[in-house]
Amino acid sequence: MVWSKLKQNLESFLCPELVGRVEYRATSYHYLPDKLGRCYITVDKNEVLNMSDTNALIRCYQTEQEIKNNPDIDIPITEEDINEVRRDSFNQIPEDRLKVVARNRKISTYAKELLEAQAILLRSDFYDAAKRFLTMPIDDCLKSNEILLNIFALVDRRVGKRRLMNLEEQMSLKHPIVQYFYKLRIDSLGL
3-state secondary structure 105-169: HHHHHHHHHHHHHCCCCCHHHHHHHHHHHHHCCHHHHHHCCCHHHHHHHHCECCCCHHHHHHCHH
Condensed to tens digits (0 to 9), the pLDDT of residues 68-126 reads: 888 888 889 999 999 999 999 998 989 889 999 999 999 888 888 887 777 778 888 89
Condensed to tens digits (0 to 9), the pLDDT of residues 29-68 reads: 766 656 667 889 999 999 999 887 676 778 888 888 988 8
